Structures are given as C-alpha cells and as structure tokens.
Chains A and B, each alone.
Chain A
C-alpha cells in the first residue's frame, strides 16, 4: 500500500492481511407437497414416482412439476427398489462430512418403470467393476433408522442379473 501514510500510533503495527468472518444461517426447509409424498414413502421403504399427465413420464424424485412440460404431477406410481445404473463416477477426493472410504462410486440409478434416476452410492462391488447398465437393488437402513430422507437407502448393490442394453436406457442418460 504505497502512498498510504499511517498515523504514528500504527507505524509498527503488523498490517492486517486477511480476516475470517464466519457466517451461519439456519433455514426451515419446506419439501413441498410432491416431495413430501415421496419422502413419506421412503420412510416406509417405498419409492413413489409421479406421472406427468401430459408426457406420461414418471418423474423421480417428484418435486411438484414435470420439468419437461411445466405442469403439476399428482398421480403416484410405486416403483420397485431395483433398477439400473445409468451413469456413475468414481470419487477419489475426500470431503468433509463423508465417512465413505475412498475410492467409492456415486451413480444415478433408474428404478424399473421410472423415467428419471435417483442419486445413490454403489457398494458391495469393487469400484472398478461398476458399469453403465449394471442391475442394482437398494440396500435400506435398518427399520429403526428409516427416515424421511433418501439416506434411508444406504446404497445400491449389484443383483448379478445380466446388464441392460444401452438402447433400453439411452433416453435416461
């Protein structure tokens, strides 16, 4: 800071080069009508999508509207807790709050009959054997840990069935 003349009293004071100003805000989250229906199902080990009355796609997780058509969804469709991995990535970076051992796999899982995937982790298989089209099933937390949160699904694991053809899920990648 050339050109700045400090008062005599501050001549020998060490200059401030950085400050920390922590900020924390608490929010009361409203899931909404559609997401609440979905989360109530999850707490009972059920996966409910919602069908769009216009394009007939089953939206998952439902948030109140069909993102394609921009209209409300309301028809609940129960989906099985198994499906296929459409896309995935191998996580090699530790981030705070995660207890997962590196490396691990995050994936989008498309339950059979759904048109959008759920985010989840793939376990019970070496990370380098996970692949697109792999069939998986949900591993739920124990009954007393079930809650209105997708964390009720601990992870997804392979079923051992043959992989799905790419053509069968290309619209969902």
Chain B
C-alpha cells in the first residue's frame, strides 16, 4: 500500500441559503484556496474527483458547471461521484494506490436550499414501495430515534446534550452555520418537531462546499510540513429497504471501522458525520469510541450540514487536527442515505 496523506483542506463559510452565488461561484474560492495554500496550480494535480448530486440542484449533469471552476485545460484526468465527497476522496485514494496518480484534488458541494430538502431526500428511497409514500427525511430519522429510545440506547437528555455540546464547540469554528447553544435543560422545553426529535436534534439546512488535496509519500512531504496520513479507509453499505435493517445499530459503520483499523490504537479526536443527535450515539458505539475521545470539536453536522460535502469536511477537520498537532490519531466518519445506510471510516495519523 502507498502512504497517502491529506495535505490541504478548505471549506466555505456555511450558510442557510446562498442567495447570490451559484454553485461554481460558491465552490471556486475553496478550490483556489487549497491550491494556493500548497503553492500549486491545477497542473500539479494528477487526478480530480468531485462529489455532488443533481437532486439538490434540480438539474441534470449539474457537476459539469462546477468543473468550470477547476481549470480543466489542458485536459485533466477527472471523475465524479453522485455521493458525498468522502466517497470521491475514497476514489482518489484508490487511484493513487494504483500508481496512476501521486496527487489528487477532491471537492464537494451542495446547495440544499433550492428545493424542499425533506422531500428531495425521499427520492433516494426505492421507487416502488417507500418512495411513492414520500416519507420525509425527518420522519425516517425520528422512527430510528424512537427505536433507539425504546431500546434504551439513549435518552432525550443525552440527545439534547449532544446538540448543545456540538453547537457550543462550533462557536470556535468560523465556518459553522450554527454557533452556540442553550443548555440541554432549556432545549428540552422546546416542542417536538417530529417526535421524538426536537429542532435541536436535527441538522441545519446548509449551503456549502469543501476541498481536500491528497498526496502520496514523498510528494506529500514536499507539499506539507505536517501531512495527515490515511492509515486506514473503508466504506460499507446496508440494505436499501429500511424494513430489513436493524436501525438501532450501525453494522456498516462497525465493519468499516474494523477494516479501517479504528481499534488498533488510541483515538484522540473523532469527527463523526451523524446528522441527528441519536445517530452520534449509534456511530460512537459502532466504532467503539470511549468517553475519552473528543467528538466533533468542529461542531460536526449539527452545526453545518452541507449535503454532499459534510462527510468530506469530517475528513478535512480530522486531518486539520492531526496536522496541527492537537491529535496524534483521529477518526473521520461519513454517512449517506437514510438512517445511516452507508458509512465510510477513515483513520488519520500524524508523522511518526
């Protein structure tokens, strides 16, 4: 296996609604920043891979327009996944493993604001049985939360504490959309939004973008004084039909975490892509993270949840903590699909 590291990361200032800028205008500053931070231009990038979805933009081949922000001439080697950018990063990592590239630009963006997000997300369900019923994304998360409460895995008090901790941590994150929070006891006085979920249990609707640069071996050491090495990365998926899944555990996270080697050493920081509070409990359990692990110092997806970018941002945030010396070993997690259907786990370590 080739050693591959995250050598640069940038993200946009996440907002509820990008009123003026279109997708490429929102993304371009982030693309320029990761390259400027490394002092390189697109000619130094061997492979470019992006993650986004047409369902958010409401138009076909929407990723082509954002490619206009990359500088794709002379022609570049490029790919796109209709997935969170964390999976674009996985594709880039595989490309580097094959030896076909030494450097890769990975980016992702999502404007969740143009459509009715709760309905848009229902289109990822099967088109025969569930899709025609239009169950919205909050309702499905609420069913899972109810199952977790009934199983005694968490409490509404713990869920409120997760919300408060996340958004209070985000006060130190200049890019976060929601910064600061009332204390859990205050939050619990709110009415339920989709029982048992209250507003604080749900992620904000966010427009935003992010970019990461990967590099292999000595190329990474040339580009960065403190590369964040990817020591393990794996992703797994569960059944599409919610009715055949165990919603009170996350088998795919557990398996991906095991394959990525989460348990092979002490974890200092974990950036978990758990958009709903109860899901953080499930992901922590699946990864076997103890109470000594600092979870989502960035605020996580409860503080900013730009769809298709929020998973990639977890990897970027974890890498930033490793590169900055705040963590020697960090875990990043990304999810996709309703109720944690698909999960990616990445273990990052600093230079020995």
Contact = CB atoms under 8 A, between A and B. Distances in A.
Interface of A: 19, 21, 23, 25-36, 63-72
A37 to B, nearest CB: 11
B70 interface: yes
Contact of B131 (A23, A25, A29): A23
Contacts, number: 87
B31 A70 contact: yes
11 contacts: A26-B115, A27-B114, A28-B113, A28-B115, A32-B20, A32-B24, A64-B69, A67-B67, A67-B72, A70-B31, A70-B68
B120 interface: yes
B217 interface: no
B18 A30 contact: yes
Contacts of B42: 70
Nearest to A67: B68
A28 B113 CA distance: 8
Nearest to A30: B22
Nearest to B69: A65
Given A25-B123, A67-B67, 11 more contacts: A25-B55, A27-B57, A27-B114, A32-B22, A32-B24, A33-B21, A64-B22, A64-B68, A70-B28, A70-B68, A70-B71
B136 to A, nearest CB: 12
Interface of B: 18-25, 28, 31-32, 42, 55, 57-58, 65, 67-73, 111, 113-116, 119-120, 123, 127-128, 131-132
A40 B188 CA distance: 48
Nearest to B122: A23
A35 B73 contact: no
A34 to B, nearest CB: 7
Contacts of B20: 30, 32-33, 36
What are the 9 A-B residue pairs with the smallest beta carbon separation, nearest first? A70-B71, A32-B22, A27-B58, A67-B68, A21-B132, A64-B25, A68-B73, A27-B114, A65-B68
A25 B22 contact: no
A150 to B, nearest CB: 15
A71 B68 CA distance: 8
Nearest to A36: B20
A30 B19 CA distance: 7
Nearest to A66: B68
Contacts of B65: 63
Contacts of A71: 28, 32, 71
Contacts of A35: 22
Contact of A29 (B31, B32, B58): B58
Contact of A32 (B21, B72, B116): B21
Nearest to B42: A70
Given A31-B22, A35-B22, A68 B71 contact: yes
A68 B70 CA distance: 8
A158 to B, nearest CB: 32
A32 to B, nearest CB: 3
Contacts of A72: 25, 28
A64 B55 CA distance: 22
